[in-house]
Amino acid sequence: MKQIDLNSLFSKKTVDFNDNEVFDIAVIGAGVVGCGIFKEFCENGAKTVLVEKANDILEGASKGNSAILHTGFDAPPNSLELDCIKKGYEEYLKIKKKLDLPFLNTKALVVAWSDEQEEKLEAILNKGLNNGVKELEIISNKELALKEPNLSKNAKAAIVVHGESLIDPWSTPLAYVKLGLQAGGKLAFSHEVKDGHFNGEYWEIKTSQKTIKAKTVINAAGLYGDIVDSIKGSKDFKIIPRKGQFIIFDKTAYNLINSIILPVPTKITKGVVITKTAFGNILVGPTAEDQESRTDSVTKKEMLKTLQDKAYDLLPALKGHNITATFAGLRPASDESHYRVMINDEKNWITVGGIRSTGLTSSLGLAKHVYELNDKKYTKPKKAKEPIEIQNITEFQTRDYETSDYGKIICHCECVTQREIQNALKSEIGAGTVGGLKRRTRVTMGRCQGFNCQASVAQICEESKS
Amino acid sequence: MNKVQIAIIGAGPAGLSTAIELSNMGYDDIVVFDREDEAGGTPRHCGHLGFGIFEFYRLLSGPDYAKKLTKIAADRNITINLKHTLVDISKDILTFSTTDGLVKYSAKRTVLALGARETPRSARLVSGIRSPNIMTTGALQRFIYLHNTIPFKNPVIVGSEVVSFSALMSSRKAGINIAAIIEEDKELNSFSILKSFSETILQTPVKLGYEISSINGDDKEVKSVTISKDGIDETIECDGVIFSGDFTPESALLQENFKDFNFANNSVFISQAFQTTNKNFFAVGNVLRGALTAFKCFFEGKRLAKFIDDSLKQEKLKPQHVKIEADENIQWYYPSLLDLNYPSKILTNLRVNKKTTGRIIVSVNDIDVYEKQIDAKTYTNIKIPREAYPVSKNDTIKIRLES
């Protein structure tokens, strides 16, 4: 019987620019930050190429996060991070309106589970107010019980953060790339950056495939940020990957909570969050485990059990609901906790590093900040009239299976249609990896994890490849 | 809104046999729905022999059995609506997603024959990498029997239920060499002769008492698994992992819609008449408890038909349900309601969670009324008889296991 290699169901993406092309900007790294920067520069008329070592976007740190649009209430005061979160949040609301992107304002509750934590609430509230986040209030455990009747009765009090919301962490950056492409940007996927040389006028970036020429390099290489940064000749920071493990509970649990349940943070981490997801599940996580490896994202049973127990403690009604998925993501934390954004004017090199856990929210704000740092004028292209197409895969808007003419449903758990899969596979920015297809459609991500549809999906991919 | 007398959700052995039997009884307003593009259910992708002996007195492969059942239904002019995915059952309205748009049905009686699936790696919390080559038996069988491809050459199988050996046989037939069968328990979760059969005839080692402690590899390629017994690790090279068995009912929609959900069974409560707590809804087959063989589901469907007939003929008859609860040592049990309207020889059927020598005790309102000595394995079917102790409507029946 013929063997099918499930790890190479997708052909390598090709580039459509020639070797002599000198770009204004090369963005290295197609994580959420890189995608946002790509969009910003393309829309402002810079000839921009997005260089990525994987065969799709979001293959590094950006693939695993908690999908929350943050207000910045707990961000470091007077920091670039806070500025970018706030600007990013606003920009998201604008783009969401324009593109009809999904958004659910669930609000967040910072819940104190001990007297000691309760004492800290006031300080958290004041920090939020100082950060310019106005809609905050402290509520008693009685009010909390009305808002969240399924939460453990051990809660002492909570802060309501009205602005915190849920978005789709995958379609959003995909939309940024599509907008960039529409404005004339180019992609170079499966191009791993190996080295570079600045000749005083432009960079020659050596990759695993082509050498790419660009006047300015923007390093948004995430987990590899420090390695790529050393190409410019100095090492200014060190990435210390921080692993976060997550558990996704079945959709049956979706209505157990209404808001994002946040813990009172410690110095190291924001702690374990319990939240609904845009896809109709309950997510619990992340853990925070510093490590050397930039690739090791294995899950650990003991850790997952601890997470599970923690979740049961805080939300006892979760018992009896199945676990749908477990995964681990790596956050590109650096040796200092703040964002590492800097420009080297002599070398035409901008570093955007150490964006550890707020990148999804801040990306558009960061993109604007980086554009201003670059301080160059380009000729703006004409605004495209054609709207870009974004498939809705969240539960906040109509899904394809609720319409008609979709062919058939392939993935029964997530109700993913044949048409959705085919759409996700076509076009320049179609899925280039198994993960990429999942992120565009949710296929095989449900409770059966492919028991029903993995073989059909593999066949569709094989057919579309040839 | 479409109206139908009897709607049956699921065209597997349980659903089809219910439909066929009802048709034999003279009912002609029956529609069977299935989300797949072919009727027959799980046997469609069980390419090995072992089906049909009790139903049709001949030995068939799964796909042939599925075809035969489907043909009988077609010969009876039973409507089977394929590519109909049930997405909602609230307010007793059945909403299906179809390529022609959402379609709604209202039925006098609805049969939920939704089937079961295996527990995937994620729900077992196994440590290690993520890879598309980590899958369930069901997924593998679909590769082999529905798509004629194999995803790997040398995987391990986790679990030792009957389905694990079905995975072994399917694999061999398709040219896949199984590196080992790994079972956490100290003995097989199926007939012990299968161990020597695997080891001597097929040369596949069966590792009993080993926990799979991690799946190793890089960049989504499985390279090996680490297994451990009594704190000592062992590594087995392999290129995939098949998680087999530990079936769980396909019951999420029911969990969302039935106020009274039986978490112990991960399914709805049903009486000996297969009736749920909603008197117009019945449930049958593997959605009640995870996987039993096709013929069990077939004969349950046949029995269910008579109860549906009864309930349609006696619209005014109100169910007299007494709830049966079981402790956590019971793997599953059904019926989970005792309907006092019906005489019954069996109170419930059950399996235990682990190999047990002990007693099953039944109590009514916390007074012990029955006990039975058992020496049972996890795959032993135990019948608990309904004896002559009095039970009335507001009582609670509890079943517990003492070892």
pLDDT of residue A100: 92
Residues B156 and B233 in one domain: yes
Q: How many Å lie between the alpha carbon of A459 and the closest alpha carbon of chain B?
A: 7
**Mean pLDDT in residue range B54-63:** 95
Residue A266 has pLDDT above 80, yes or no: no
pLDDT of residue B247: 94
Residues B79 and B179 in one domain: no
- Per the model's pLDDT, the better-predicted residue between A426 and B114 turns out to be B114
Q: Which of B319, B345, B379 is the last residue of a domain?
A: B319
Domain count, chain B: 3
Inter-chain residue contact B147 with A459, CB threshold 8 Å: yes
pLDDT of residue A137: 97
Q: Where are the domains of chain A?
A: 15-105+168-239+332-390, 108-162+240-331, 400-465
Give the number of C-alpha atoms closer than 13 A to the C-alpha of residue A152, restricted to the C-beta side: 19
Inter-chain residue contact A2 with B248, CB threshold 8 Å: no
Most B-contacting residue of A301, A400, A433, A438 (CB-CB within 10 A), to test interface: A301
Residue A305 has pLDDT above 80, yes or no: yes
Whole-angstrom distance, CA of residue B262 vs CA of residue B246: 18
- Between strands B156-158 and B241-243, the pairing is parallel
Residues B281 and B173 in one domain: no
Do residues A117 and A58 lie in contact, with contact meaning Cβ atoms separated by under 8 Å? no
Residue B99 has pLDDT above 70, yes or no: yes
Q: Which residues of chain B make contact with A455, given a CB cutoff of 8 A?
A: 139, 142-143, 146-147, 149
Inter-chain residue contact B143 with A458, CB threshold 8 Å: yes
pLDDT digits (tens, 9 = 90+) for B198-244: 898 889 999 999 999 999 998 789 999 999 999 999 999 999 999 99
**Mean pLDDT in residue range B115-119:** 96
Q: Which residues of chain B make contact with A304, given a CB cutoff of 8 A?
A: 125, 127
Q: Which of B319, B347, B363 is the last residue of a domain?
A: B319
pLDDT of residue B69: 98
CATH code of residue B334: 2.60.40
Whole-angstrom distance, CA of residue B225 vs CA of residue B237: 7
Most B-contacting residue of A395, A417, A453, A454 (CB-CB within 10 A), to test interface: A454
Q: Which residues of chain B make contact with A319, given a CB cutoff of 8 A?
A: 263
Q: Which residues of chain A make contact with B37, given a CB cutoff of 8 A?
A: 408
Do residues B352 and B376 lie in contact, with contact meaning Cβ atoms separated by under 8 Å? yes
Q: Which fold has domain A15-105+168-239+332-390?
A: FAD/NAD(P)-binding domain (3.50.50)
CATH code of residue B150: 3.50.50.60
Q: Which residues of chain B make contact with A409, given a CB cutoff of 8 A?
A: 35, 83, 85, 97
| Residue type at position A385 | K
Residues B99 and B58 in one domain: yes
Q: How many Å lie between the alpha carbon of B241 and the closest alpha carbon of chain A?
A: 13
Whole-angstrom distance, CA of residue A203 vs CA of residue A205: 6
Inter-chain residue contact B132 with A454, CB threshold 8 Å: yes
Most A-contacting residue of B147, B220, B242 (CB-CB within 10 A), to test interface: B147
Residues B124 and B219 in one domain: yes
Mean pLDDT of chain B, nearest integer: 95
Q: Residue B128 in 3-state DSSP?
A: strand
Residue A43 has pLDDT above 90, yes or no: yes
Give the pLDDT band (50/70/90) at residue B385: very high
Residues B137 and B114 in one domain: no
Q: Which of A299, A308, A450 sits opposite B135 (nearest CB)?
A: A450
Inter-chain residue contact A415 with B97, CB threshold 8 Å: yes
Residues B285 and B334 in one domain: no
Q: How many Å lie between the alpha carbon of A463 and the closest alpha carbon of chain B?
A: 12
Residues B238 and B159 in one domain: yes
Q: How many Å lie between the alpha carbon of B40 and the closest alpha carbon of chain A?
A: 14
Neighbours of A346 (CB within 10 A): 10
Inter-chain residue contact A252 with B255, CB threshold 8 Å: yes
Chain centroid offset of residue B328 CA: 19
pLDDT of residue B120: 96
pLDDT of residue A267: 66
Residues B107 and B252 in one domain: yes
pLDDT of residue A269: 60
Give the pLDDT band (50/70/90) at residue A65: confident
* Angle CA A369–A371–A377, to nearest 5: 145
Q: Is A386 exposed, middle or buried (0-12, 13-18, 19+ CB in 10 A)?
A: exposed
**Mean pLDDT in residue range A158-171:** 97
pLDDT of residue A345: 95
Q: Which of A2, A325, A456 sits opposite B148 (nearest CB)?
A: A2
Residues B237 and B124 in one domain: yes
pLDDT of residue B93: 97
Q: Which residues of chain B make contact with A54, given a CB cutoff of 8 A?
A: none
Residue A357 has pLDDT above 90, yes or no: no
Inter-chain residue contact A7 with B37, CB threshold 8 Å: no
Do residues A373 and A340 lie in contact, with contact meaning Cβ atoms separated by under 8 Å? no
Give the pLDDT band (50/70/90) at residue A270: low
Residue A231 has pLDDT above 80, yes or no: yes
Which residues 395-434 in chain A show a CB within 8 A of chain B? 401-409, 412-413, 415, 434
**Mean pLDDT in residue range B247-254:** 96
Inter-chain residue contact B213 with A456, CB threshold 8 Å: no
Whole-angstrom distance, CA of residue B247 vs CA of residue B267: 12
Q: Which of B132, B147, B248 sits opposite A7 (nearest CB)?
A: B132
Q: At what angle do helices A454-465 and A418-425 cross, to 10 degrees?
A: 40
Q: How many Å lie between the alpha carbon of B234 and the closest alpha carbon of chain A?
A: 18
With a pLDDT cut of 90, the percent of chain A lying above it is 91
Mean pLDDT of chain A, nearest integer: 95
Q: Which of B284, B319, B354 is the last residue of a domain?
A: B319
Q: How many Å lie between the alpha carbon of B315 and the closest alpha carbon of chain A?
A: 32
Residues B255 and B338 in one domain: no
pLDDT of residue A246: 95
Inter-chain residue contact A301 with B143, CB threshold 8 Å: no
Inter-chain residue contact A325 with B147, CB threshold 8 Å: no
Q: Which residues of chain A make contact with B148, given a CB cutoff of 8 A?
A: 1-2
CATH number among 2.30.33.40, 3.40.1440.60, 1.10.3720.10, 3.30.9.10, domain A108-162+240-331:
3.30.9.10
Give the pLDDT band (50/70/90) at residue A394: very high
With a pLDDT cut of 90, the percent of chain B lying above it is 89
Q: Which of A295, A406, A449 sits opposite B121 (nearest CB)?
A: A449
- Determine the longest span between alpha carbons in chain A, in angstroms: 67
Give the domain range for residue B209.
Answer: 120-245
Residues B239 and B308 in one domain: no
Residue B21 has pLDDT above 90, yes or no: yes
Inter-chain residue contact B127 with A298, CB threshold 8 Å: yes
The nearest alpha carbon in chain A to B101 belongs to A404
Instruction: Give which of B43, B249, B71, B248 is closest to B146, Cα–Cα.
Output: B43
Inter-chain residue contact B132 with A434, CB threshold 8 Å: yes
| Residue type at position A218 | I
| Residue type at position B45 | H
